[in-house]
Structures are given as structure tokens and as C-alpha cells.
Homo-oligomer: A and B are copies of this chain.
Amino acid sequence: MAKPPTIRDVARLSGVSTATVSRFFTGKTSAIAPETIESVRSAAEELGYTPSEIGRSLRLASSRVVMMLVPDATNLFTADVAASVENALKGIGLSLVLANTAENAEKQDGLLADAQGLRARAIVLQGAMDTPRLREMAERQNNLIFVNRRPAPGIVAPYVGIDNFAAGFAVGRYFIEHGYENCVAIHGPRHYPGSSRRLEGFLAGVGEMRQVLRFECAFTMEAGYQQGSLLLADRSRRYTVFCANDMIAYGVYRAAMERNMRIPEELIIFGFDDNRVNGWLAPWLTTVKVPAFDFGPAIAELINETPATNDHNRTVILPFSLTIRQSA
């Protein structure tokens, strides 16, 4: 693999200095003579020259990559958000590096180090875990953006997401208004702030009147299936289940299907997120719609703000809505 041409090669071929070539590629064309522009352009084309983003990053002490850490690459909502972010970043000339923490604190810390090594323009944390390393980075630099899961107390950084309490509350109210009995919450891990806020909102929405059966559950189909199987072992009641997540809801649904249960006659299921494939593959699922594709633009704008404007704890709260379908 021949090593790529540099700015010097282009300068030599077109008979100008590297400064002029650099000016051409940084768009400062107003200060260059038209015939010079043309000769640089053609020399660059002939050599197949592309400016080295590495040299540029080094010189400017900042790269054009944004790193996004996701807790679970197999979550469909996460994938929707990632697609949205990638697209929005491309619009402002940035690249996205996607990495999976698998809900593992050590992996997260390793990836944070990688992001620092890459001099990432920004680090987007979907579902961050509170570690010393994270706190340290939040203090040292201000390029962290939290998504979906708010920063732990004491960490000051922008947040993009929905109002989890309000969303949970809305579901709880809906349950009451429709007189649902035997309410069940299959909620996410209790130590995740977003997850517990969602649950608190739901309980508040349901109110004191009814008691709510609770199951703690990882945000995966497999875990949902497991908890669902546990719950549905008792077929004497018609449960109304609020799942913290669409993935969990899919798992519960599978458990129900295996028992040949009819929905909603024998079981009512609510999910959360309403990812893109729901409309196609789970057209039965009633769920809280979170606007996955609004995340990208919001995050891109946050990144694009000059550090001056950025007050370091801006919060972008996106709207949610209830999508009522057959399972309700």
C-alpha cells in the first residue's frame, strides 16, 4: 500500500507553497488567485490527495469524531438513536464512533480512555454508569453528553432525553382511567436513575389505591421472557403489565404466546420506547413513544454550540406520547 500523498506533494506538483494548498483545502479561497486555485485543484486530483484528518486534528488540537457509548447494541431503540445521531453528525462534518459498554463499568471506563485518546470532540453516553473515571472526565473536560440516563448527582453535564417520571405517570394514569386490575411493573434495574424515575412516576400515576406487583429486570428480551414466564405461571388473573422497555415487552409477549394466551383478553401489555420496527413486527404493542429520531439533531446542536454558549448543564427534554395499540 503506497503511502498517501501529502500536502507537500500537492504543493510541489502545483508549484506553490504548502500554505497555499492548505488555504485551498480549508476554504480560504478568497485569498488565492483564481489560476492558482485551479492548479492546486488539478494537482490534488491528479495525486488523489485527501487532507489528513490526523495532521489536521493534531494541529487544531481537536478531532472530528464523536464517540457514543451505548449500554446494549442489540436494543432496537438504541439502534434508532444511533442512526439518528450518525446522520445528524454527518450534517455538521463529524464522524460517529460507536461502542458498546454492555452495561459493564470496566468496559465503559476503557472506552472513555479510548475516547480521550482519540481526542473526541464529544462523548455521548447513552445510559452511563457512575464510575470514578467518569466523574474525573466530567470534571476535567466538558464534552460529555448524557442521553436517556441522567448524570449521577454531582456531575454537571448536558442531558438529552424524556421526562421519565412524567412518562411513567402517564401510563399509571391510563391504567387507572381504564380500570385495569392486577397491575404489574416489570421495571429496569433499580440503580439506574432513569429506570427508577420511570417506576416512581408509574406508581404515582397508579396512586395509593391499587397495589402494584414489581419485578426487576434487565432491559433485554431474554430477561423479559424470564420475568414474564414467572409472572404468567399464575393464570388465575388477568394481569396488566407495564414493561420498562419494548425489549422486555417482546420477552413477556413470547412467554404469553408459549402459553397460548390471547392479548388483550387474557393479558394487557404496555411497552416503552416504540422503536421503529414496532409498526411492522409488533403492531400489537401499546407503548410509550419516545422520538428516537429527534435525539440526533438535539445532540448535534449541543455539540455545535460554542463552549461559551454552553452552560454545561443544559437539558433538552423531548416529548413522549402514548401509542395505543391492540395489546391495551
Contacts and interface: CB of A to CB of B under 8 A. Distances in A.
B95 A95 contact: no
Interface in A35-58: 48, 50-55, 57-58
A136 interface: yes
Interface of A: 1-4, 48, 50-55, 57-58, 61, 63, 65, 73-74, 76, 79, 82-83, 86-87, 90, 95-100, 113-114, 116-119, 136, 140-143, 221, 250-251, 254, 257, 276-277, 280-283, 307
Contacts of A1: 141-143, 307
B280 A251 contact: yes
A52 B63 CA distance: 11
A95 B99 contact: yes
A3 B100 CA distance: 27
23 contacts: A1-B141, A1-B142, A1-B307, A4-B119, A4-B140, A50-B116, A51-B117, A52-B117, A54-B118, A54-B119, A55-B58, A58-B58, A65-B97, A73-B79, A73-B83, A73-B86, A74-B276, A86-B98, A90-B100, A95-B97, A95-B99, A96-B99, A97-B98
B119 A95 contact: no
Contacts of A99: 86, 90, 95-96
Nearest to A3: B61
| Closest A-B pairs by Cβ, 8 of them | A281-B281, A53-B117, A50-B116, A73-B83, A1-B141, A54-B57, A53-B118, A50-B117
Contacts of A65: 65, 97, 118
Contact of A48 (B136, B277, B281): B136
A63 B54 contact: yes
A109 B307 CA distance: 32
B48 A140 contact: yes
A259 to B, nearest CB: 14
Nearest to A93: B114
A141 B116 CA distance: 29
A250 B117 contact: no
Nearest to A102: B87
Given A54-B118, A117-B50, A140-B48, A250 B281 contact: yes
Nearest to A113: B50
Nearest to A282: B281
A279 B257 CA distance: 13
A51 B115 CA distance: 11
